[in-house]
Structure 1
Amino acid sequence: DFPGQVRGVSWFAPAILRLAEHDEWHGAQLTRQKVGALLAGLITTNDGTAPFGGEAQGEALIGSLEPGAMVVLPPGKDVTFSNPPAIAQEANDFGRITLHEIAAALGLPYEVLTGDLASVNYSSIRAGLVEWRRRVEMTQHNVIVFQALRPIWRRWAMIESLQGRLAARPQEMLPVRWITPKQQWVDPAKDVQAEIEAINAGLMSRREAVAARGMDVGALDAEIAADKAREASLGLAFTAPAKVAPAAAPAIPVTEEAA
């Protein structure tokens, strides 16, 4: 925003007001529940006598009942209990709406922010995760890699080259490929089949598909080749199970009468 700026606006700036309001709401609801748990009994007497013992505070007598106790009140005595406030459904709805606003301000799916999966289905959670993962990849490559990892790698390559511990020149070490951790799939079977079809159709490379799994294609190919060589030397053979075709329905013999 201005020359010499060393830090920008926090990502929490759009949600800071809602976070404060949610914290106040949570405290208010907790206080309300504590008040609601204070069930009190009010004893009315006509002659001023008390049905059971207690501690006198002024003209009032503060007593208590033990769990499971049965007290018989004399004639003319009456007991009424306080009616503490109940937790209304509107309060819970307000808290949920506030969390939705906080999640939208932070660019997070509501389910990721709260862990609440009660009202999601396969399509909704998949659509939400796809959009969120795009934001995660943007942050990984445009912020973490560009502003942190690249300067660290450049400085390390320069120091190692000047110390004589690298045979290559620093310019040769700078071009690198940054591979982010693998993103877990919602439906692995469908996602893998979609990748296979995209590779066969030429819409994506195998290197791109392997990199999305958080691996390097060269290291993966070397590992596969080593596995096959070891299996061949040990006389092992691992093949995919053959697909069994469904059995054909038995033919019904045609007799002369049926003909």
Structure 2
Amino acid sequence: MGEWFPWIRSPDSEINFNRDRMVSRSRDLARNDGWASGAITRILDNTVGAHLRLSANPDWQFLRAFNKAFDATWADEFRKVVEALWRGYSEDLGRYNDVSRQLTMSQQLRLALRHKLIDGEDLFVAHWMPERIGRGAAQYATSWLLVDPDRLSNPYQMVDTKYLRGGVEIDDHGVPVAYHIREAHQNDWYNAPESMVWLRVEREDPDGWRRVIHDFERDRAGQNRGIGVFTPVLAHAKMLARYYGLELQAAAVATTYGTYVTSPYDPKMVESAMDSDGEELGFYQDLRDTWSKKHPAMLNSVRVPTLAPGEEIKQVSAAHPHDGFEPFAHEMLRSIAAQLGISAEQITQDWSKTNYSSARAALMESWKTLTRRSTEFKIGTATPVYSSWLQEVMERGDLDDVLPRGGMVPDFLEAATAYSRCDWLGVARGWIDPLKEKQAVLLGLEGGISTFKRECAEQSLDYEEVIQQQAIELKMRADAGLPPLKAFSGGADDSSKPDEVPEPK
């Protein structure tokens, strides 16, 4: 450790000064390296997936302190109405929830998580656009713009100060109060004038409406900007990418060979012939040509080059330097997978050397990290987005019909956390061995150590929709004269009874 003397600095000093370089390298890796791109895709597909469904769950027990009318029945009615309004807003065909009118809310959230993984943070800016209300299916003025985190920076690239850290303006307590955002990316030559203009956006409006959502994972106290998941293993990933190139070059060289012809003439004789009038060398070449024409050699109708007496063809092939590529690549991928929190098999998609036990153990560990990433993203980004929209909904009076009629009813700002409490249904956990794992689910339900809601949530299902669908299907089976399934009849053994075929109705 004689030459290992790292500096002790604040988190912003360590991150902000070199952040552009770290982000550019991470982006280049995710854009041009198949392993890195595949790893990001695996994380996204196992956290938010293609669709993130809202599951509203207001804290009626907290609200009950204001009014006894807030109970579980009210919470269920509130949930149904809010989820219906959210579906109309977030999945609107006109994409009015997006300032650029390109993405649904789920697509924006997926892209935000991608920014968070690669760039280390995601940045949403809320816009109030009442002119959109009434156009198509648009009902609300709240619209979101997902901003590239590169645009969050100090005006004119000035160095950090006490109250300005990487574009984040803080107060004496370290609370972010405003964000300085370029109007265009710094390297957009076609927006050069706008790229030198910074807009100061306050975190919240005076009425409490959230304007900016800045979400990143904090590794140290006092940190104001984030780093991507690839940062600790950038050197490993780059070495592996270079090794692939070198291996390809070695393989290309190994497939080539050099060919030369040896002649009984030594160099001095050839040199002497070249210095003369060339009659001897020309005579020798004529002999070779005559020999080749009079003595052709054929192999499967293909002519083989024929040499003159005393000549022979020799080849030089390139030998591969070593055969340790596969173990080295596997070890490097393991280190990258360890940092990303997923298994090496999930990156390579190679399960040929995996059995049920090892696969389940690896996926269980990966699921913990994926669940943590998903939960932090929902808490830091998805729920604040929903809460800002819900504030407009409640202040417009769209939920007056489901709020209690009598007694005190707190407005949104008085109980924003209670009203906005929710969960998000993302990607189903899936099964490795469906038979064994579904049997375990049934045992857990029967033993009382699990709930139907929890088991459905792990498979990205709404338990109430499942129950309602089961009721519909049971009624249809009964109407058709079909017996109930064992799962709904208690699994009773009726083998002693004669088989009865119901008459169709």
| TM > 0.5 fold call | yes
Give the equivalent residue in structure 1 for 2:263: 45
Offset at residue 86 of structure 1 (A)? 2.4
Offset at residue 68 of structure 1 (A)? 4.9
Contact 2:341–2:370, Cα closer than 8 Å, also in 1: no
Give the equivalent residue in structure 1 for 2:392: 159
Deviations 1:178-222 (A, max 9, x none): 233211110011111111112222211222112212122222212
Give the equivalent residue in structure 2 for 1:23: 241
SS in 1 for 2:248: helix
Deviations 1:142-183 (A, max 9, x none): 2x2101111111011111222333334645742323233211
Offset at residue 72 of structure 1 (A)? 1.9
Offset at residue 139 of structure 1 (A)? 0.9
Contact 2:262–2:313, Cα closer than 8 Å, also in 1: yes
Give the residue type in structure 2 aligned to 1:121. Answer: N
Give the residue type in structure 2 aligned to 1:179. Answer: L
Separation of aligned partners in 2, 1:88 and 1:97: 17
Offset at residue 117 of structure 1 (A)? 2.0
Which structure is higher in RCO with an 8 Å CA cutoff and minimum separation 6?
Answer: 2
Instruction: Note closer, same or farther for the CA distance 1:175–1:93 as it changes in structure 2 (3 Å cut).
Output: closer
Give the equivalent residue in structure 1 for 2:51: none
The structure with the largest strand share of the pair is 2
Deviations 1:201-248 (A, max 9, x none): 221122211221212222221221122223333434353499798xxx
SS in 1 for 2:304: coil
SS in 2 for 1:9: coil
Instruction: Note closer, same or farther for the CA distance 1:214–1:45 as it changes in structure 2 (3 Å cut).
Output: same
Instruction: Note closer, same or farther for the CA distance 1:35–1:234 as it changes in structure 2 (3 Å cut).
Output: same
Q: Are 2:354 and 1:120 equivalent residues in the alignment?
A: yes
Give the residue type in structure 2 aligned to 1:15. Answer: V
Give the residue type in structure 2 aligned to 1:78. Answer: E
Contact 1:14–1:106, Cα closer than 8 Å, also in 2: no
SS in 1 for 2:314: strand
Gaps of 5+ in 1: 53-66, 246-259
Q: Are 2:413 and 1:182 equivalent residues in the alignment?
A: no
Give the residue type in structure 2 aligned to 1:150. Answer: T
Gaps of 5+ in 2: 1-10, 13-173, 177-222, 271-283, 290-300, 404-410, 496-505
Instruction: Note closer, same or farther for the CA distance 1:87–1:159 as it changes in structure 2 (3 Å cut).
Output: farther
Separation of aligned partners in 1, 2:306 and 2:494: 80
Give the equivalent residue in structure 1 for 2:367: 133
Separation of aligned partners in 1, 2:474 and 2:369: 39
SS in 2 for 1:7: coil
Give the equivalent residue in structure 2 for 1:95: 329
SS in 2 for 1:165: coil
Separation of aligned partners in 1, 2:439 and 2:257: 61
Offset at residue 31 of structure 1 (A)? 1.1
Separation of aligned partners in 1, 2:321 and 2:435: 44
Instruction: Note closer, same or farther for the CA distance 1:234–1:119 as it changes in structure 2 (3 Å cut).
Output: closer
Instruction: Note closer, same or farther for the CA distance 1:13–1:22 as it changes in structure 2 (3 Å cut).
Output: same
Instruction: Give matches, 1:100-249, under 5 Å.
Output: 100-142=334-376, 144-167=377-400, 168=403, 170=412, 171=415, 173-240=419-486
Instruction: Note closer, same or farther for the CA distance 1:176–1:95 as it changes in structure 2 (3 Å cut).
Output: closer
Contact 2:232–2:339, Cα closer than 8 Å, also in 1: yes
Separation of aligned partners in 2, 1:129 and 1:244: 40
Give the equivalent residue in structure 2 for 1:12: 230
Contact 2:256–2:317, Cα closer than 8 Å, also in 1: no
Q: Are 2:304 and 1:86 equivalent residues in the alignment?
A: no
Separation of aligned partners in 2, 1:197 and 1:46: 88
SS in 2 for 1:89: coil
Deviations 1:77-110 (A, max 9, x none): 0211012122632133222222222222222211
Contact 2:260–2:314, Cα closer than 8 Å, also in 1: yes
SS in 2 for 1:177: strand
Separation of aligned partners in 2, 1:12 and 1:74: 63
Contact 2:474–2:484, Cα closer than 8 Å, also in 1: no
Bigger Cα displacement from structure 2, 147-156 vs 225-234: 225-234
- Count of aligned pairs: 230
Q: Are 2:293 and 1:76 equivalent residues in the alignment?
A: no
